[in-house]
Amino acid sequence: MNGRHDQGPPEHDGGLAHDLPVLARRRMIRLMAGAGLVPLVGCAPEGKTPAAPAPSSSSAGCAEIPEETAGPFPGDGSNGVNVLKESGVVRSDITRSFGDSAGGTADGVPLTITLTVVDAASGCGMPKRGAAVYLWQCDREGAYSLYSEGVTGENYLRGVQETDGEGRVTFRSVFPGCYPGRWPHVHFEVYGSLADATAATSITNTSQLAFPKEVCDTVYATDGYGASVRNLSGLSLEDDGIFRDGHDRQLAAMEGSTGAGYSATLTVPV
C-alpha cells in the first residue's frame, strides 16, 4: 500500500516510558543474581547438606526467549480490536487481508518467517508440538493494520499457525519498514495450543524478532522503502529501547536476496 504514513505511527510500542519499567526489572534481576543477592527459597536443617538444585534451562545452555512488550497494536483483544477470534486468522500467507476487511495486500520485498518453538526446560532439545504462534508486524510504510491511519480497515500482516511435529511455524510476509524510534522487528506471541490462540487466552510468551542491519540496508535500498532509509539511519540495535539489553537470541538468521525474497529463521525456547 503506497503513499501512506511514511513517518510511521508516532506512538509505536509506547516508547521508552512504556518499556523502561519492564527493562529495568529484567536488569535488576540479572544484577541481583550476579551478585548473589537473589534470596534462597529455604534453608537446609542444621547439619544437613542442601540438595543440589535441579539444573535450570539457563544452566543447561538454553534459556527462554526474552519476554518483550506486545506494543500498542497487538490486535489480540488486549488493546481494543481482536483479530484472533476472526475466521480465517489461522493461515500461513499473511500478506493479504481476510474476512470482512477492506481486502488490501501489503506490498514489499517477499519474506518467509520460520519460527521453531522448543522446550527450554529440556535444554531446547524437544520441539513444542501443537503449540501456536500469533505473529504480527508493520507494513512497508511502517503502519500496523487495524490501528494506523489509512489501514484501520485492513488486517493484513497478522496470522496464526500451529506448530508441526518439529515445532515449526512458517509465515509468508513482506519485509517490514522501519518507523521512527524502533529497530525493524516482528512481534509474536506463543500459546499452548491453537484453541488457546483463537480464543485469545493463555499466552505463554511474548517476544520480538530483530533483523540484521546489513539485510535492512539492502532491502531499504529498493523501491517503496525510502522512509525506512531515513528512519534507520539514526538507529542501532544497541540503542533500541527493546533490544539494547541483549538481542543475540532474537536476531534472525537470514538468507536470500531482494529479487528472490528473504527467509528469516529463529529458534524460540519457551
Q: What is the pLDDT of residue 102?
A: 85
Pairing of strands 158-162, 261-269: unpaired
Q: What is the pLDDT of residue 61?
A: 64
Q: Looking at the predicted structure, is the pLDDT value of residue 2 above 60?
A: no
Least confident window among 12-21, 70-79, 115-124: 12-21
Q: What are phi and psi of 219, to 5 degrees?
A: -65, -45
Q: How far apart are CA 64 and CA 174, in angstroms?
A: 27
Q: Looking at the predicted structure, is the pLDDT value of residue 90 above 80?
A: yes
Class level of CATH domain 13-269: mainly beta
Q: How far apart are CA 246 and CA 233, in angstroms?
A: 20
For the chain, give every domain's residue range: 13-269
Mean pLDDT, all residues of the chain: 85
pLDDT in tens, 234-264: 999 999 999 999 999 999 999 999 999 999 9
Please answer whether residues 267 and 63 qualify as being in contact, where contact means their C-beta atoms are separated by less than 8 angstroms.
no
Amino acid at 153: G
Of 187, 129, 190, 193, which is closest to residue 163 (Cα–Cα)? 129
Averaged pLDDT, 49-55: 35
Q: What is the pLDDT of residue 78?
A: 96
CA distances from 95 to 110, 196, 267 (A): 9, 23, 23
Q: Looking at the predicted structure, is the pLDDT value of residue 21 above 90?
A: no
Averaged pLDDT, 30-51: 37
Q: Looking at the predicted structure, is the pLDDT value of residue 131 above 50?
A: yes
Q: What is the pLDDT of residue 76?
A: 98
0.85 surpassed by pTM: no
